């Protein structure tokens, strides 16, 4: 037995049941985000380098191992599970995992959702709905096809629009996610609000986060959402509401459109006090915080034995180290990423 597994085994003698996960700050962990692959068919400039070195396939958990890990978290109180990437729908046979997890809805799991770039939705939308998925997030930073190609490097805007059409036809509710980027899509936000709300979709805007080395200087693109909202309120009436989806977005209603808009502000307003989330990578690494490097190896526990007591103990040990919050900073004096891993590794 290697030292990692030995450490886990020692912990298993102390804690080996499926009790709920409560972190050191008395926050219940009920939301798991699972990155099923670090690969993506886009290369968004704020997220990835153009020439990425992806994980070798041998390092990835199998779909069966991912299912076992997710099932363990559901047994320990996770009520919402989101599949992410990279782009989750590019993983081979991913719908097998979606279908297996969908069987847990109503049996411990309240909701199974997905974050996607939309490129594969035309192919998978009907099957996603058939598996029990009812809501998805689609990342879309611009409605201009040329700017879309610029920001994604490889993306096809019209293919994403076809995917959105297919998803809505299948009955999936869509929330659009847009990263707010200065001098790129800031002036386009009113149009994006009207587009999303005109089609019955929510829109959430997100501040860019300092994760992973990329070619550009993030300070050139960083747009505080406090400024964006102030600009938007010159033409829209926004009212705070208590609507929540389980994530960190704070929502408003837009009187002129009747739709909802969310703001995710990791930089200007640290939302960590209510964090109920942990993130699992496709290699079995559990990150207790998106913006910290502290992590736990769950792959060793999964592969050491079929006894879930060992896995439960490893999860409990990790949750006992969940930090109070992240330490993201973007300014000219902090021009290196807060964490070295790219968002695609941890899961967006």
Annotated binding site for GTP, which residues?
33, 82, 115, 175, 277-279
Q: Which residue ranges make up the annotated binding site for S-adenosyl-L-methionine? A: 46, 86, 139, 209
Q: Which structure tokens are listed for 295?
A: 């992590």
CA angle (80, 77, 125) in 5-degree steps: 20
Q: Which residue ranges make up the annotated binding site for [4Fe-4S] cluster? A: 40, 44, 47, 272, 275, 289
Q: Which residue ranges make up the annotated binding site? A: 33, 40, 44, 46-47, 82, 86, 115, 139, 175, 209, 272, 275, 277-279, 289
């Amino acid at each position: 037995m290697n030292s990692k597994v030995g450490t886990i085994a020692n912990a298993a003698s102390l804690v080996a049941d499926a009790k709920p996960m409560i972190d050191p700050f008395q926050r219940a962990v009920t939301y798991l985000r699972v990155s099923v692959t670090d690969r993506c068919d886009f290369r968004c400039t704020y997220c990835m380098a153009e020439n990425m070195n992806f994980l070798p396939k041998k390092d990835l958990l199998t779909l069966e191992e991912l299912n076992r890990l997710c099932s363990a978290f559901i047994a320990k109180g996770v009520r919402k599970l989101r599949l992410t990437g990279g782009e989750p729908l590019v993983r081979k046979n991913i719908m097998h995992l979606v279908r297996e997890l969908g069987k847990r809805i109503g049996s411990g799991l309240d909701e199974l959702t997905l974050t996607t770039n939309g490129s594969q939705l035309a192919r998978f939308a009907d099957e996603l709905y058939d598996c029990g998925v009812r809501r998805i997030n689609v990342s879309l930073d611009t409605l201009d096809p040329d700017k879309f190609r610029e920001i994604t490097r490889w993306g096809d805007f019209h293919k994403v629009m076809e995917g959105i059409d297919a998803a809505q036809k299948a009955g999936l509710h869509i929330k659009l996610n847009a990263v707010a980027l200065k001098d790129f899509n800031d002036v386009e936000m009113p149009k994006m609000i009207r587009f999303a709300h005109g089609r019955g979709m929510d829109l959430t805007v997100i501040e860019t986060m300092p994760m992973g080395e990329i070619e550009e200087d993030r300070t050139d693109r960083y747009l505080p959402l406090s400024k964006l909202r102030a600009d938007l309120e010159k033409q829209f009436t926004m009212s705070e509401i208590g609507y929540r989806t389980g994530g960190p977005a704070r929502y408003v209603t837009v009187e002129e459109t009747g739709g909802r808009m969310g703001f995710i502000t990791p930089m200007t307003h640290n939302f960590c006090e209510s964090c109920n989330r942990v993130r699992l990578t496709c290699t079995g690494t559990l990150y207790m915080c998106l913006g910290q490097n502290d992590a736990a190896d769950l792959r060793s526990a999964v592969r050491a034995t079929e006894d879930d007591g060992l896995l439960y103990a490893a999860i409990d040990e990790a949750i006992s180290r969940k930090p109070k919050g992240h330490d993201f900073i973007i300014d000219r004096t902090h021009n290196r990423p807060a964490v070295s891993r790219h968002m695609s590794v941890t899961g967006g």
